[in-house]
Amino acid sequence: MSSATAMSSTSDSMSERALGIVGVGLIGGSIGMAARRAGWEVSGVDADATLGRALELGAIDHRARLDDVRGAEMVVLAAPVSRIPGLLAELAPTEALITDVGSAKAAIVRAAAAAGIRRFVGGHPMAGSQLGGVANASADLFQGARYLITPTGDTLPEAYARVTQFVRDDLGAVPTAVDPERHDRLVAALSHLPHLLAVALLEVTSGISPDALSFAGPSFRDLTRVGAANPTLWADILAENAGAIHEVLGSFDEAMRRLGGDIDDRPATERHFTEAGAAYQTLGGFLIEQTGHNVDLAVPIENRPRVLAQVTTLMGSHDINILDLSMQHSDTRHAALVLTIDAASVDRALALLRGAGFHAEPLTTGRAD
């Protein structure tokens, strides 16, 4: 069968459980492998050579063009982050559920709105490798990893729930809601700044003498490992989140000035390390633990802008995982948002919701899985 015929038949058959992936590299290929394992039929959009390798490795079922995937149930945009706004414009109009994996979210969310794509939910898996390309893809790449979801005031509840379900059930990741602008500041500090620091540290050390790096121990290698990441990819990522990165770099410069000013002050230096040690210990607390028993919470809401984003980001920012979400309308102005969460988080969730002005109550029909 020719490529054109294959793509045409793919487009005709796309519907439920059909997934289109635009950009079949490390992340896109890993999503394809995990999705195929979960029963999805996957079509890939990329260069011919990449798609041929993706077929060999089992990352996709079909080659496709961008026009072909408009009829899929879901489309994942896994192309370089600077290309995603343009792809959204090209995809419109479409009824497919669109999500992406870009590491800078605010501009992409704005682009989806400008393109008129109503069923868009931004996403960003906090997983990867310094080894890129579909040859390094793995169906298990996202297992247990954080996967940030970035709803806005215009996000449709059913779209948010479907993407969250896909991330949790099919990719094996831990979905967490966060506001797009806050997302960009977080990843600037948690991911983008460490990459810049690794590059700077390697530059500084290499400048001491030609053989300086030969003396490096394991801790130096750990600190600088991400400096070996794909240069083209990371130049694109950093440029797309430049505003948030400059903000974080300003805070970092200030912190380094304080540390440098205290070098001769032993008690002050000890205090800095003590505070850093305490902060480091909290890293273990960010892993979401589940008891296996789930509870439904009913949250009466008014149909007003940003209410969905307010609730989901409130939960996500306090490490409460929304396992499922649905909306039950009572009339055109009022509805009940039903959140399914782990039973161990119920008391905290209720306190947060009530503190934010929501009259949340657990449903007596809460599920145990």
Confidence of residue 15 (pLDDT cuts 50, 70, 90): low
Cis peptide before 85 (omega within 30 of 0): no
Residues 75 and 215 in one domain: no
For residues 309 and 179, what is the distance between their CA atoms, to the nearest angstrom?
A: 7
pLDDT above 70 coverage of the chain, percent: 88
Q: What is the CATH number of the domain that holds 96?
A: 3.40.50.720
Q: What is the CATH number of the domain that holds 187?
A: 1.10.3660.10
Residues 116 and 159 in one domain: yes
> At residue 344, does pLDDT exceed 60?
yes
- Within a domain: 272: no
| Helix ranges, the chain (H) | 3-13, 26-37, 48-57, 84-91, 106-114, 157-165, 180-187, 193-208, 218-224, 231-240, 242-261, 266-281, 307-316, 346-355
Q: Decide if 362 contacts 346 (C-beta within 8 A).
A: yes
Q: Which residues of 73-91 are buried (b: 16+ CB within 10 A; e: fewer)?
A: bbbbbbbebbebbebbeeb
For residues 332 and 310, what is the distance between their CA atoms, to the nearest angstrom?
A: 20
| Domain carrying residue 23 | 3-178
- Within a domain: 288: no
Range with the lowest mean pLDDT among 3-7, 61-65, 87-91? 3-7
For residues 156 and 70, what is the distance between their CA atoms, to the nearest angstrom?
A: 19
Residues 6+ apart with CB under 8 A from 9: 1
The most confident of 120-124, 155-159, 276-280, by mean pLDDT: 120-124
> At residue 53, does pLDDT exceed 70?
yes
Using DSSP, how many helices (H) and how many strands (E) does the chain show? 14, 12
> At residue 312, does pLDDT exceed 90?
no
Q: Which of 178, 212, 237 is the last residue of a domain?
A: 178
Q: Report the number of distinct structural domains present in the chain.
A: 3
- Within a domain: 280: no
pLDDT at 285: 44
The most confident of 38-52, 125-139, 337-351, by mean pLDDT: 38-52
Judging by beta carbons within 10 Å of its beta carbon (0-12, 13-18, 19+), is residue 112 exposed, middle or buried? buried
Confidence of residue 292 (pLDDT cuts 50, 70, 90): low
Residues 227-237, mean pLDDT to the nearest whole number: 89
Residues 288-307, mean pLDDT to the nearest whole number: 72
Confidence of residue 296 (pLDDT cuts 50, 70, 90): confident
Confidence of residue 331 (pLDDT cuts 50, 70, 90): low
For residues 8 and 103, what is the distance between their CA atoms, to the nearest angstrom?
A: 32
Range with the lowest mean pLDDT among 6-20, 172-186, 208-222, 227-241? 6-20
For residues 83 and 19, what is the distance between their CA atoms, to the nearest angstrom?
A: 20
- Nearest alpha carbon to residue 306 among 124, 151, 132, 81: 151
How is residue 166 annotated by DSSP?
Answer: I
